[in-house]
Amino acid sequence: MAPKGFPTDFLWGGATAANQLEGGYNEGGKGLSSADMIAYIPKDQRSKELSHAMEITSDRIEGILNGEIQARFPKRDGIDFYHRYKEDIALFAELGFKVFRMSIHWSRIFPNGYDEQPNEEGLQFYDNVFDELLKYGIQPLVTLSHYETPLGLTQKYNGWVDREVVGHFARYAETVFKRYKDKVKYWLTFNEINVITISAFTGGGVVVDRLDNKLQGMYQALHHQFVASSIATKLCHEIIPDAQIGCMLARMETYPNSCNPEDIRKAQLANQMNLFFTDVHARGEYPKFMDRYFEENNIVLQKEAGDDELLKQYTVDYISFSYYMTIAVAEKPTGEEGVGNLVEGSVVNPYLESSDWGWQIDPIGLRVTLNTMYDRYQKPLFIVENGLGAYDKVEEDGSIHDPYRIDYLRKHIEQMKEAVRDGVELMGYTAWGPIDLVSMSTSEMSKRYGFIYVDQDDDGNGTLARSKKDSFHWYKQVIASNGEQL
Ligand code: BGP
């Protein structure tokens, strides 16, 4: 019989990343990371690219380091979770969270990435955070690398393009597995692993102007991350036998713009190129269709002996992904281009509404995605990011009415429930940015996702005080009713 609702052990919660949440970019012995190199570009000077972090050049890094270019830090480097984690976690507990997704900022533990010894103060900070979560019965779900490659690894090796980084990552993973083995049972290796082929700096600390062949470098860096992910999976199972470790993909379900077979084929290829990443993580081998892509783009991966066996043997326990929107493509696109130039030939889907940032809102697409992925892998799935970035208004009495956010989330959760009825094995759902945090793609504070409002503006001014939005009370009831009261 098809299940009627969510399983009783369904993991409801929220998701964050250290670099957008913590602040304290230079406190407690932390080194700089790729995330700290994101320059702040005011809205009117930005292009329509999804992210201003797309191509970070050597000059830009230099400019940030010598203070000529304004970086996100020190004013916009988070919302001060570093000092306020107790207050924030108490609010998550009030929401009824079963799980809290966060990342360990790698450069808090190994400030340069290649250091021999970890930084005790950084390790202690995460001990404190995990203890606080567990005090309320909230399970931490920890991402090892959320766009946070230590800058030292960029400077020394040009990031993940160099095989040496695999060893440094393995040491970092082993260090945190050993340290937190009694506290953390859910792990993720790389956030949105596919982003490395869109923005090599964001995903892998790779400065592309230092590469002779951009595509070759990006895919080589990716191969190193696949290998590192398998090594981390192996280590995790050895050190924490009762833990589960997964991968993470920015899922971009892509629709053909019409039933013209040319559009259908274009969409199929875009989906293959997106699912390729989870194919390697979950099936343990490169899919055949990538051979042609590599050949046509003169990409020759340098693999070491044993890599293929490693990928095959240490596949992930579950597959997680972020889901914000879908994309439509046409072989011969006309009209306005879809958001972010993420997929070549993208067009605006006339059947869908868009957020203020042009991300097309598609709850049914989430059901489609869940079914597609479960059909393909038959592994448990976990939605670890979903939400609506929106402008919020604080009323004179301090209240914040955000029915648009409730509407977005409600419709997506309804479709999740349908997918569970379709037979999809879904472990949990963590809404992105349960507390307002700094936007990844724009560095804005005003692109808000939270149930909890944070008083900080785009220039980093504000009291940082926390307050509850209407959606806070709504999500609390969703969790308490295990998704029945939407
Ligand atoms: C994902 C990232 C997150 C996050 C989210 C929302 O791609 O994993 O770090 O920020 O997108 O994006 P944005 O902050 O740009 O709205």
Closest atom of ligand 1 to 191 CA is 8
403: preceding bond cis by omega (within 30 degrees): no
Closest CA to 229 of 191, 264, 281: 281
311 lines ligand 1 (CB under 6 A): no
Average pLDDT for residues 301-327, to the nearest whole number? 98
Q: For position 53, what pLDDT does the model report?
A: 54
Give me the pLDDT at residue 43, please. Answer: 64
pLDDT digits over 393-404, tens only? 999 999 999 999
What six digits make up the tokens of 144? Answer: 């090892």
Q: What is the pLDDT of residue 44?
A: 66
Q: Ligand 1 pocket, 250 CB below 6 A? A: yes
Does the structure show a pLDDT above 60 at 205? yes
C-alpha to C-alpha distance for 127 and 140, rounded to whole angstroms: 11
Q: Above 70 in pLDDT, residue 333?
A: yes
Summarised one tens digit per residue, pLDDT across range 115-132 is 999 999 999 999 999 999
Report the chain's mean pLDDT, rounded to a whole number.
94
Question: 387 in ligand 1 pocket by Cβ < 6 Å?
Answer: no
**48 pLDDT more than 60:** no
- In the reported structure, the alpha carbon of residue 364 is separated from the centroid of ligand 1 by a whole-number distance in angstroms of 21
Give the separation between CA 19 and CA 463, rounded to whole angstroms. 20
Atom of ligand 1 nearest to the CA of 387: 6
**C-alpha 439 – ligand 1 centre gap (Å):** 6
For ligand 1, say whether the CB of 17 is within 6 Å of any of its atoms. Answer: yes
Q: Check pocket membership of 149 for ligand 1, CB cut-off 6 A.
A: no
Tens of pLDDT, residue by residue over 86-108, are 999 999 999 999 999 999 999 99
Closest ligand 1 atom to 147 CA: 9
357 CA to centre of ligand 1 in angstroms: 12
With a cut of 80, say whether residue 49 has pLDDT above it.
no
Confidence (pLDDT) at 64? 87
Q: What distance lies between CA 202 and its chain's CA centroid?
A: 11
Over 70: is that where the pLDDT of 143 sits?
Answer: yes
Alpha-carbon distances, residue 458 vs 54, 76, 438, 451, 462 (angstroms) = 20, 8, 9, 19, 10
The whole-number pLDDT of residue 68 equals: 85
Max CA separation in the chain (angstroms) = 65
Q: Strand locations in 128-238, DSSP E?
A: 139-145, 186-190
Whether residue 341 is predicted with pLDDT greater than 80 in this model: the reply is no
Query: Which pLDDT score, from 0 to 100, does residue 224 have?
Result: 98
Probe ligand 1: pick from 34, 322, 361, 437, max atoms within 8 Å of CB?
322
Looking at the predicted structure, is the pLDDT value of residue 340 above 60? no
For 271, phi then psi, to 5°, come to: -70, -40
- Distant-in-sequence, close-in-space partners of 184: CB < 8 Å, separation ≥ 6: 130, 140, 142, 240, 243
* Percentage of residues of the chain with pLDDT beyond 70: 96
| pLDDT above 90 for 310 | yes
In short, whether 441's Cβ falls inside 6 Å of ligand 1 is: yes
- Domain spanning 11-36+77-480, CATH class: alpha beta
